[in-house]
Amino acid sequence: MAKRKIPFLRNEYYHIYNRGNSKQKIFLDKEDYNHFVKLLFVCNSKINFKFRDNIVDIKIDAFEFERGDRLVSIGAWVLMPNHFHIYLTINPHMSDMWRKDGRNNISEFIRKLLTSYAKYFNGKYKRTGGLFEGSFKAIHIKNDNQAKYLFSYIHLNPVKLIQKNWKEEGINNIENTLEFLSKYKWSSYLDYKKADRKENQILNIEDFLSYYQNIKYFDKEILEWLKYKEK
């Protein structure tokens, strides 16, 4: 395995993302989105598993899977038609899982996630070959300003689906945009809005910026960005 330019260290935070090979869509229907969301939960575990054996065949909900120790803590995530973003850190409540093949907690989690999803996707659509565009990308988040921007960037990513150039042109209708975000299931936006859903279990908010646990602060940041317009 080639050594990454950005090492994954304890108590550091990272923006992880990747997209479909040749920018192809990686989610074609609601079932695809739902499957990836479930994998965000079950792959975050030291336990080796097979989705069909450990979830489908024994007829349990994915969010009931006894996953044991988490590999990482997830602070925010979003799924888009041809890519995804995840904000995470090594689980601070367990020791690093350094392996002889060079993987640590973050690399192992992403490997399990992308391998499992590609297997599902290729099987469902009867395709072969790589689904994702090479190795996943990582950015080291070094300060609070970067972190605050990333939280808003991730949760506002879906706005591009209804207004592609909103940053340059400004939001046409903020009320309609907020309504759209309130119905977009494929991100952690609803979890920060305190929605009652199983997907809450994906997040480990306690290991990230404390002020985002205040819904008023979260709403204020989102609204400020929606009023933003590039000069």
Would you say residue 4 has pLDDT above 90? no
Where exactly are the structural domains of the chain?
A: 13-226
Q: Are 55 and 33 in contact (CB under 8 A)?
A: no
- Please name the residues in contact with 99: beta carbons below 8 A apart, sequence gap of 6 or more: 108
* pLDDT confidence bin for 213, thresholds 50/70/90: confident
pLDDT of residue 229: 65
At 172-189, the pLDDT tens digits run 999 999 999 999 999 999
- Please name the residues in contact with 77: beta carbons below 8 A apart, sequence gap of 6 or more: 40, 84, 85, 86, 87, 154, 187, 188, 202
Q: Name the packing angle between helices 30-42 and 105-125 (round to 10°).
A: 150
For the segment 139-163, the average pLDDT, to the nearest whole number, is 94
pLDDT of residue 61: 78
Query: Domain 13-226: which CATH class?
Result: alpha beta
Round to whole Å and give the CA distance between 201 and 80.
20
At 14-62, the pLDDT tens digits run 999 999 999 999 999 999 999 999 999 999 998 887 777 667 667 777 8
For the segment 8-17, the average pLDDT, to the nearest whole number, is 94
Would you say residue 1 has pLDDT above 50? no
pLDDT of residue 100: 47
The overall average pLDDT reported for the chain is: 89
Rg for the chain, CA atoms, rounded: 18
Which residues on neighbouring strands pair with residue 178, listed in sequence order?
A: none
pLDDT of residue 209: 77
pLDDT of residue 3: 60
Round to whole Å and give the CA distance between 72 and 45.
8
Tokens of 116: 């499992």
Which residues on neighbouring strands pair with residue 88, listed in sequence order?
A: 14, 74
- Of the candidate ranges 110-124, 136-150, 215-229, the one whose mean pLDDT is the lowest: 215-229
Q: Are 180 and 159 in contact (CB under 8 A)?
A: yes
How far the first Cα of the chain sits from its last, in Å, is 43
Name the DSSP letter for residue 164. Answer: T
At 100-133, the pLDDT tens digits run 455 689 999 999 999 999 999 999 999 998 999 9
At 74-109, the pLDDT tens digits run 999 999 999 999 999 999 987 655 554 556 899 999
